[in-house]
Structures are given as C-alpha cells and as structure tokens.
A and B are shown apart, each in its own frame.
Chain A
Amino acid sequence: MSDGLRISDLTVAYGGNVVVSKLSLAAATGEITGLIGPNGAGKTTIFNVCSGLVRPRSGSVRLLGRDVTRTSPARRAQLGLGRSFQRIELCTAMTVRENVEIGLEARQAGLNPLRHFGMARGSRASVATRVSDAIERCGLSASADHVVATLPTGRRRLVELARVLASDFSMLLLDEPSSGLDDAETAVFADILTSTVADLGTGILLVEHDMSLVMKVCQQIHVIDFGTLIFSGTPAQVQKSEAVRAAYLGAESVEAVS
C-alpha cells in the first residue's frame, strides 16, 4: 500500500462561507477508500479541490508523494489523477465508444499542441484496445455504439467510469458513481471496482450514498460532516462508531448491513 492522495489541513470557503475546515485525510493506491457524509457535508468540494477546480483557502494536496496544490487540473490529470462527476460530464451527442476514446486522447494530448492534431504512429491500435477493454470491463459492450443521449442515467455513469478506467490513471475520484443503478447493476458495479483495483493496482476514493456498497468494497472509510472529519476506520469500525451513527447513518442503516 503506497501513498496515493493525501490532503492535509484543508480549508475551503465559498465567499465567507467555510464549507471544509482543517480536514486531513489520505487514500492509498491499490485499495478503495470511502468518503461518506450527509448531503452538503463537502464531499464534492473536496474532490474539486483534489482535482484543482477549486482553490483551497489553506492546506495542501499531495498526489503520489508530490505536492500538487498549485498545479492546474489538466496537469494533475497528467500526473495520474482521474475523476468522475456527480453531475455527469459526457459528450451527449457522441457514442459511448467515442466518449471513452476522447477521454483517453485528451490524456495523451495534454499540453502538446502537436498531439492535439494526431497521434503517434502505432498508438491508434493500442487506443482502440484500451477503449474496448474499458467498455467491456464496465459491461457496456452492447451499447458501445449508442449515442449517450439515448442512455439512462445509470448507464451514463458507467460510461464515465469506462472513460476514467481507459485513461490509465493511478488514482481515481468517483463521485456517487452508483446513483441511478438498480440493485443488480450495483452488485455488478461493485465487482467492477474491486476487480479494477485488483488487476490494475489503481487507488479509488469513492463518494457514495449507497452504504451497503461502501461497506462491501472499501478497505478504509472516512466520514465527514459539516466539512470536518468525524471518523476514520475500517467498515467494521465505522459501523460500530457511535459518533458516525449519531451524525449520519442512523441506527437502522448500519444494522441492516451488518
């Protein structure tokens, strides 16, 4: 287990409104870390700070041991940080395959204007295989040539997942990836996550409201409320914690899982 993403002493404010304060947490590569908390707790904000879309008031973000607090979103992605969005970000007019492809191409092109216009010799085939692999891994083979606009929300989330999986990131931030999936699809989804981590050694920081999914796949869970960390531990410890129970889970939902 190595250092994937580490946030220290993070404070974020919108205007004068402090939404994350003095928060530190870490997520390792090669395992799945949960980040849970009630609505408005600041989970998406933390993701936005990690990926560089929101400037923190203070604190630092380290990615794979390197301080990236001041680098641009694109540069962080180049360094190996990928993410999905709570409000799905896809090209709705393109097909599933094109969406996955363009994600990978964007990663390859980066800052280099020459790479904007074409790809290196021979990489076309490898792009195609990586795209197909990711699509297959996410169970989207049947709809690979469908236009995204025709897909229901749950499937779209899978397209986003396929996009980040194809792009070979070492650390992934997934923001509520399973909302919109039914129970059967969620079970499949859990398998996709665990097998990805096992096969590729990727680290995942997972924001999720589906507690049974979180308890099932995560090795480590951080619980936040009102922008502060209130508990960190294994799923078993989280289920036992009185503080978490009080702040968030409610007695039934924890017991239902255990």
Chain B
Amino acid sequence: MLGDLLPFVVAGIVSGSLYGLAGLGLVLTYRTSGVFNFGYGAIAAAAAFAFYTLHDSHGLAWPLAALIVVVGFAVVVGPLLELVTRILVGAPDALVIVATVGILLGLEGYLYKQYGDSTIAFPQFLPTSGFTVSGVQITWAQVISTGVAVVGAVGINIFLRTTRSGVSMRAVVDNPRLVRLGGERPERIRLLGWALGAGAAAISGILLAPVLNLDVNLLTLLVVQALGACAIGLFRSLPLTFVGGLAVGVSAALATKWITRPPLNGLPAAMPFVILVVVLLVVRRSQLPESRASLAGLIAPVRSGLSRAANTAVAAVGAAVLVIVPWVVGTKLPVWIAAMGYFVLFASLSLLVWGSGQISLCHAAFVGLGATTLGHLTHAGVPWPVALVLSGLLTMPAGALVAIPAIRLSGIYLALATLGFGIVMQDIVFGSFLMFGSNAEVTASRPSFGFISQSDRSLYYVALAVAVLCAAAVIVIYRSRFGRFLRAMAETPLMLRSQGLSVNMTRLCVVCLSAFLAGISGGLLITQVGTVSGVTFGSVQSLLYVVVLGICGTRLIRSPVIAALLLGVLPGYAHINLDTQTLTFGIVAIAAALIQARRDALSVAIGRLAATSDRRQPPVRRAGPAPRLRTRREVEVKT
C-alpha cells in the first residue's frame, strides 16, 4: 500500500521543492517591496523559454545556459521591477494589481507570439538515469532538481542571516516598517529583493519546464501556484513557505493518484488554490501581513468634469449612434452585439471595483456560469427573456460564495482569494453538468417572440435594450442610498459599522448584484456566438477583464463603454492577432497604472498647494457620481 504511494510522494517532493523556492521568492519580494507580483509566474515561464532558446536552439551546455538565464534575470528583470515599484510607491492595491497583471499578460502575449500557442516538448536536460530505492525509481534529474531548489532556499536563508544586507532585508521581511530604521536605503533592499526573487523564479521555471513541457499558460499559472506555498507561510515566513511548497506538491501528487474520475479530477491541478482559498478563509485577518493602501479613495468622485448638459448631450449623441448602428456597420453587426455583452460585463465589474472598492479576479467564471445557464435553459425550452433573467439570478449564488472572502478580506488577499476561486471553478465546476459538462461546450438559441426574429438586427436591438437597462440599473444603484453606502464603505467601513450598518450585508449585496450582471452578460455573449466552450471563460480572461477596465479609467459607466469598444468592437475591425492583443493590453496596462499612480501624486501635490494658498475655497459641489482616482492616504489627516 505504502509502496504504491511512494512514487507519488517522490514526484510531489520534486515539484513541491520548486514551488517552495518560487514561493520563497514571491514572499521575499512581496515583503520587501509591498508589491504583490502577479506576473511572477510569467517571469518563471519567460526564463524557461529563454533557457530553451539557449540550450535547445543554440546548443549551449545546460549548466552554462542555466547560469546565464538565472543571473541575467536577476540583474535585468530585478532592476526593472524595482523601477516599477518605485513608481507605484503609495499607490492603492488596484493599481498594483493592474500593473503586475499587466506584466503577466504582456509576457504571456510575448511568449505566445514568439513561440506559438502549441506546447513545445521540452526534453529533460538533466541526466535521466537513476536508481531504485525501496521499489521507487528515482532519476538523477529529480535529485538534482530538488537539490538545486533546496540549495537555493537554504542559500537565500543563509544570505539573510549572515550578510549585512541580508540581515536588514530579513528585518524588513519581518516588519516592512523597519526599512528606514536600520539606516539602509529602502531602494537598495527592494532591488536586492527583486533580484533574488527574479533569480528564484528563473530557477524554478527552468527546472519545472521538463516536467510540464513548455506551455506558456501552464507555466505562468503553475508557478503562480507557488501561492499555495505562500499561503501556508501566511505570506510572511520564508521557511514555512518552503515547507508549504512541499506540502502543496505532495498533496497535489497524491490527489492525482486518488482522484481520477470526473467531476473532481480537476482537483489536483487546483490543489494549491484550494489550499490558498482555505487558508485565506480560515486565518484571522490580523495574522496576514497588512496589505497596502486599500482600494479606497479610488472612487473619490471628481469635483468637476462635464456639466450635466454636456453629459446629456454626449448620452443623446451616443444613443443616436447606437440606434443606427445596424444600418451602417453592415456585416460587422455581430461585433456590436458582442460589445453589448461586454458592456454589461464591464459595468458589473465597474460597480464592484470602482463602485465599492472591492476586486474580483474571477469574473470570467461568473460570465461563464451565466452563459451556460442561458444555454441549458433555452435548450429546455424556456423563453429567452426568462432564461436571461434566470441566468443572472442563478449566478448570484456563486456571487454569494465569493462574498465570503469579500467580507473577510480586502486588497491583495481578496484578489488572491477570488483568483483562487475562479481557478477552482474552472477546474472543477466547468466540467460538471452545471456548466459545460462532458461535451465541453454549450449552445444557446436566439430570442424570437412577437416581432423579434432571429436575425442579427433583431438580436442587436434586444442586446442594446438589455445593455441600456443594465446601465440604468447601475446608475440608479450607485445614486441610491445603497450606492452611498458603497462609496462610504470603500473609505471607512469602520464608520458605517459604528453607526449600526451591517457592512457584511452591504458587501454581500454588491457582490451578488455584480454576479447578477455578469451572468446577464454571459447570457448575451453566448446568444451572440451561439456556442461557447470553457476556455473562453478561463481565469486569464478574468485577469484580462480587470486589466482592460483598469486601462479604461475609473468611471462608473464611461469606463465600461470604452472597455466594451476596446475588447468587443476593436478586434472585429482591426484584425489583431490574439497574442498581439494580449501583449498590447499588458504593456498598456503597466503604462496606465504607472501613469495613474504618478498623476495621482501630481494632482494631490497641486491640491495641497491650492489648499495652503486658499483656505476658504468656495463650496464645492460634486458633479455627478463619476469616480476618479485618489488614494486615501493623501487626503487623510494625521492625528
């Protein structure tokens, strides 16, 4: 019995030690810089590809190729990340998330472009001969790989304990506030952290590649699975993170042995995220290191902006254009129908992110749930309008599940928990009869009732009507008492609680509302395409949604409109290759986040100047509910 398990344990230890090393680098950089790098896995993937090019394409010996890649990543990627961090200092979590997810998408897009979408076989470069211990075949490759990971982890620990820079760095990891006390310059510590982190990512990427082969997506997400390790170390303890990596590796390997049948056969792959989600749900918030400035303040309304009349004019022109679209765009109409679906999707995200200061990295799962629900219902003969409403309503329970982390967590941890939730959904629920089932795809029929036919033109007007209704709903919600609670909650939930409001109820409501709208958007999208499969709603899509919304600014309605044009309409006209699109979005996201972060500081500096020169400003009225970026810290008064 035990003999059966041993091979799995060995395989688990091999990959687990690499997760551990990757997790170690991730925690190290998070603690020294305050920036949680969602692009960490992509960096590991890039390293694996660089190694592949040097070793397999150019025939460099593997030790040399590995050395070049690891050192190269440490000295090139490290300083680049430090530069990004320097610009992001003091920026709220949302911007940091957009910027680092931008790194992820940019690198992923680049790798796909460069190396193609298909998985490249990556032969094991280490010696594959081996020996047998109590019936278990162990290869030298496994020994070397684990050895390197352990040496890397121990090396980092020794460095942190013996060298001067290392000791100050360890102090910062334990308590980031100490950074200025030791007389060490924070930039230096951060730079060192990023270099070590990039090196660790490169090592684990190179060593994982032979196990997984060169699949961009798998590598990107698998090293992000180091998150499971980080969670066990509570994002704080380096040794525990390494142990956590081993635990993740072994439990995932054992899960592959025991769980082989659907629907749970996706579980092994999702294991690190299951661990992540469980840890985030179980530990007390105070046990996790404090995340940065909250999303609060992002939604501070602008003081000026367009006047009411100008707003109305823009809306009227927009409405006129939308009404005549089917008569002018010709064969491109499907693109515009899809744009309506995307608009509802982004409106749902905008309500959540800009409206209430929470974040969701699992929106694609909601959209997918809505889409499949509509498909199943129309199949069962439910009239389309009823099915659409139901696809929204039936997505709400998933929203309620996500509300649990939303109630307990905020900032980066909420982002991670929702990311984990999305991946768990994708790996476990997508394959079930509730969603795509064993066919892996779902079809939906179009609405046809009364004077509405199945033509594109009819569908366009139906979709337009739904989108307008959803926009109106979002505006009404945002202006209602509930919307005011949301805005206040983003800045000071403490005040609301002390005034007697159950903010958990508020959070539950907003996440459910957002899920409802996401479900509706899924219904619209599937109706337009006709048939969808699970890959359309993967977790990378969720990341893409957040990034695109981030690029389009922080307005409640305007940003979703622009985002829908960008993601729905633009690709229909400019025949951009998908990888180029991902790459571009990634780069633009990084740039947008960095500009936002600086513009913020700039506008605050100007505001401060104005405030000191003129104390008695005229009464300032807000012009509508349009949100704009401002970090909380900058308008806070120290007491």
Given contacts A116-B506, A153-B637, contact A77 B498 (CB under 8 A): yes
**Interface membership of B495, Cβ < 8 A:** yes
* In-complex Cβ contact of A107 among B500, B621, B632, B637 (8 A): B500
**Interface membership of B154, Cβ < 8 A:** no
* In-complex Cβ contact of A116 among B491, B509, B635 (8 A): B509
Q: Which of A62-82 contact B (CB under 8 A)?
A: 72-75, 77-78, 82
Question: Do residues B303 and A147 form an inter-chain contact, with CB atoms below 8 A?
Answer: yes
Interface residues as binary, A144-184 with B (CB distance below 8 Å gives 1, 0 otherwise): 01110110110010000001100100000000100110000
Q: Report how far A149 CA is from B603 CA in the complex, Å.
A: 14
Given contacts A78-B500, A89-B494, A93-B491, contact A147 B485 (CB under 8 A): no
Pick the interface stretch among A94-102, A196-204, A241-249.
A94-102
A3 CB contacts on chain B under 8 angstroms: none
* In-complex Cβ contact of B495 among A90, A98, A118 (8 A): A90
Query: Which residue of A101, A103, A152, A167 has the most chain B CB atoms within 10 A of its CB atom?
Result: A103
**Interface membership of A250, Cβ < 8 A:** no
Q: Report how far A94 CA is from B491 CA in the complex, Å.
A: 11
* In-complex Cβ contact of B499 among A92, A103, A111, A113 (8 A): A103
**Interface membership of B484, Cβ < 8 A:** yes
**Interface membership of B549, Cβ < 8 A:** no
Query: Which residue of A90, A119, A164, A180 has the most chain B CB atoms within 10 A of its CB atom?
Result: A90
Residues of B in contact, count (CB < 8 Å): 40
**Interface membership of A86, Cβ < 8 A:** yes
Question: Do residues B491 and A98 form an inter-chain contact, with CB atoms below 8 A?
Answer: no
* In-complex Cβ contact of B502 among A102, A110, A153 (8 A): A110
**Interface membership of A187, Cβ < 8 A:** no
**Interface membership of A51, Cβ < 8 A:** yes
**Interface membership of A88, Cβ < 8 A:** yes
**Interface membership of B301, Cβ < 8 A:** yes
**Interface membership of B496, Cβ < 8 A:** yes
Q: Report how far A106 CA is from B486 CA in the complex, Å.
A: 11
Question: Do residues B505 and A113 form an inter-chain contact, with CB atoms below 8 A?
Answer: yes
**Interface membership of B619, Cβ < 8 A:** yes
Question: Do residues B495 and A89 form an inter-chain contact, with CB atoms below 8 A?
Answer: yes
Q: Report how far A167 CA is from B488 CA in the complex, Å.
A: 16
**Interface membership of B308, Cβ < 8 A:** no
**Interface membership of B503, Cβ < 8 A:** yes
Question: Do residues A179 and B639 form an inter-chain contact, with CB atoms below 8 A?
Answer: yes
Question: Do residues B487 and A91 form an inter-chain contact, with CB atoms below 8 A?
Answer: yes
Q: Report how far A153 CA is from B506 CA in the complex, Å.
A: 29
**Interface membership of B480, Cβ < 8 A:** yes
**Interface membership of A226, Cβ < 8 A:** no
Output the least CB separation between B392 and chain A (Å).
17
Interface residues as binary, B164-197 with A (CB distance below 8 Å gives 1, 0 otherwise): 0000000000000000000000000000000000
Q: Report how far A143 CA is from B619 CA in the complex, Å.
A: 7
Which A-chain residue is minimally distant from B615 (CB atoms)?
A152
Which B-chain residue is minimally distant from A150 (CB atoms)?
B617
Output the least CB separation between B489 and chain A (Å).
9
B492 CB contacts on chain A under 8 angstroms: 89-91
Question: Do residues A147 and B499 form an inter-chain contact, with CB atoms below 8 A?
Answer: no
Question: Do residues A116 and B482 form an inter-chain contact, with CB atoms below 8 A?
Answer: yes
Question: Do residues B620 and A88 form an inter-chain contact, with CB atoms below 8 A?
Answer: no
Q: Report how far A153 CA is from B635 CA in the complex, Å.
A: 11
Question: Do residues B499 and A106 form an inter-chain contact, with CB atoms below 8 A?
Answer: yes
Q: Which of A95-146 contact B (CB under 8 A)?
A: 95, 98, 101-107, 109-111, 113, 116-119, 143, 145-146
Question: Do residues B497 and A73 form an inter-chain contact, with CB atoms below 8 A?
Answer: yes
* In-complex Cβ contact of B498 among A51, A87, A179 (8 A): A51
Given contacts A77-B499, A94-B488, A163-B499, contact A145 B481 (CB under 8 A): no
Output the least CB separation between A104 and chain B (Å).
8
Question: Do residues A93 and B301 form an inter-chain contact, with CB atoms below 8 A?
Answer: yes
Question: Do residues B639 and A153 form an inter-chain contact, with CB atoms below 8 A?
Answer: yes
Question: Do residues B619 and A146 form an inter-chain contact, with CB atoms below 8 A?
Answer: yes
A150 CB contacts on chain B under 8 angstroms: 611, 617, 620
Question: Do residues A92 and B636 form an inter-chain contact, with CB atoms below 8 A?
Answer: yes
Question: Do residues A89 and B498 form an inter-chain contact, with CB atoms below 8 A?
Answer: yes
A103 CB contacts on chain B under 8 angstroms: 495, 499
B501 CB contacts on chain A under 8 angstroms: 74, 106-107, 109-110
* In-complex Cβ contact of B637 among A51, A83, A156, A167 (8 A): A156
Output the least CB separation between A32 and chain B (Å).
20
**Interface membership of A85, Cβ < 8 A:** yes
**Interface membership of B198, Cβ < 8 A:** no
Which B-chain residue is minimally distant from A152 (CB atoms)?
B615
Q: Report how far A83 CA is from B480 CA in the complex, Å.
A: 25
B300 CB contacts on chain A under 8 angstroms: 92-93, 149
**Interface membership of B446, Cβ < 8 A:** no
* In-complex Cβ contact of A83 among B498, B502, B615, B617 (8 A): B498
Which B-chain residue is minimally distant from A164 (CB atoms)?
B499
B495 CB contacts on chain A under 8 angstroms: 85, 89-91, 103, 106, 163
Output the least CB separation between A130 and chain B (Å).
13
Q: Which of B350-390 contact A (CB under 8 A)?
A: none
- The 4 tightest CB contacts between A and B, nearest first, are A77-B500, A106-B501, A93-B300, A106-B499
5 sample A-B contacts, Cβ–Cβ < 8 Å, listed by A number: A74-B497, A83-B498, A102-B496, A149-B635, A176-B639
Known contacts A74-B500, A91-B495, A107-B500; 5 further A-B pairs (Cβ under 8 A)? A87-B639, A88-B639, A92-B491, A94-B622, A180-B639
